[in-house]
Amino acid sequence: MFIDTNVLVYARIFEAPHHVSAREALQRAFGEDEPVRISRQVVREYLSVITRQQDWLAPFTPGEAVDDVRRLLNAFEMLEDGPEVTETLIALCGVVSAPGRQVHDANIVATMLTHGERRLLTFNTEDFRRYGERVELVETH
């Protein structure tokens, strides 16, 4: 199962929206008999979110952010984003409308498809529905 950035952030930050649901969803994912995966894009997005001011989050210090990311790298299987993912992204964008910032979600889907992963745990279900049967959206609550 692939884990989207928002699940990781919400699970990590007590004051975040959906904190309890995110923690429970991650616990269920780790309890299943399949790998729990992220990509380097997710790591970058996570760093971006936890180091900037939010209504519900004071930014992590650089040291806290690095420690947190190292914890993620140890906990999850990493799906690499290389030339094959780029080719899948290009093909995907040719058949699914993913303009502007939606390209980031398209890249997550391309990474998943390249590595044979179909299940996605996310709170961002509306944006990922555009990929139809290519991706199975896992319930977060």
The angle formed by the CA atoms of residues 65, 5 and 2, to the nearest 5 degrees, is 125
- Write down the domain spans for the chain: 2-138
Q: What is the pLDDT of residues 69-81, one digit of tens each?
A: 999 999 999 999 9
State the pTM of this model.
0.94
Give residue 94's identity as a one-letter amino acid code: G
List all residues 6 or more positions away from 40 whose beta carbon is below 8 Å from its beta carbon. Answer: 78, 80, 81
Q: What is the pLDDT of residues 13-64, one digit of tens each?
A: 998 889 999 999 999 999 999 999 999 999 999 999 999 988 877 899 999 9
Architecture of the domain made up of 2-138: 3-Layer(aba) Sandwich (3.40)
